Amino acid sequence: MILITGGRGTVATELRSLLIDDGHAVRIGSARPDELDPPAAVCDLKDPSTFAAALDDVSSVFLYANATHISEFVTAATEAGVDHIVLLSSSATLDPDATTNPVAKAHLDAELGLADAPMTVTVLRPGAFAGNARGWAWSIRAGRPVNLPYPNAYADPIHERDIAAVAHALLTRPDHRGRGHTLTGPQTLTFTEQLELIGTIIDRPVEIAHVTPEAWRAEVADFMPAHFATGLLDYWARCDGVPTPLSDAVEVITGHPARPFAQWVQEHRDAFAATQ
């Protein structure tokens, strides 16, 4: 049995389909299981009392990076006989300021919590999810400029299906286990280039407004904690004009090249369609 935590997430959803299509026994865990169809098992990574039942008869785990009770999770997984954990972390843990940047530190703490675990641990460190582009969708649909504090910051957008494919390979085959893998898309693109590509695909130019970091922080204040906004701004500042190093890990592990950002946009074209 394979337990997939964070069952409402995009990567978890893609991974579930891949594993079930292959005939593997899968249990989906979620802090809000009733929101899934079919309902999932209760596995709240912030509530250790849910761990034992979720891990019963489980041999492998796909684990979201939540370090709140990581030691208790390792203990429960050990008692359940789990022999392999695939952790979904972030390439931000490799940054020089990972211990002080709140975005990176949240993932780094989860990695450190698994460092001495008795089972095999494989760490996936993807860069920017292609799905992050959904954050621009409202402005694009409304025909408004997308406000960017660092329009020339580079990213390495990776299709969430590729992350799931890597996790699937690691959970079902012994190759490449027991170490960290940095995952990127096949291109390093600035935010401006990503938005130009979206405009080409939806056949409508996307306007960009270059705003100050302070203005952007105020814009997102209602739905993003200030320390996370600051962490993102610091990261984008370092990536401003600096192409992201690319990895071939997706192809090495899965046998197929990473999907380009354009494919993700084509698949989600409706998300950016103009409002009537």
Query: CA dihedral defined by 110, 116, 120, 126, rounded to 10 degrees?
Result: 30
Query: Of the CATH numbers 3.40.50.280, 3.40.50.300, 3.40.50.720, 3.40.50.2300, which one belongs to the domain with range 2-126?
Result: 3.40.50.720
Same fold, 2-126 and 127-159+184-245+255-276: yes
Pair 206, 146: CB distance under 8 Å: yes
pLDDT (tens digit, 0 to 9) for every residue of the chain, 276 residues total?
999 999 999 999 999 999 999 999 999 999 999 888 877 899 999 999 999 999 999 999 999 999 999 999 999 999 999 999 999 999 999 988 889 888 899 999 999 999 999 999 999 999 999 999 999 999 999 999 999 999 999 999 999 999 999 999 999 999 999 999 999 999 999 999 999 999 999 999 999 999 999 999 999 999 999 988 998 999 999 999 999 999 999 999 999 999 999 999 999 999 998 765
Q: Domain limits of the chain?
A: 2-126, 127-159+184-245+255-276
pTM, whole model, 2 decimals?
0.95
Domain 127-159+184-245+255-276 part of CATH 3.40.50.150: no
- For residue 269 the two structure tokens come to 């074209």
The Cα 149–Cα 191 span in angstroms is 10
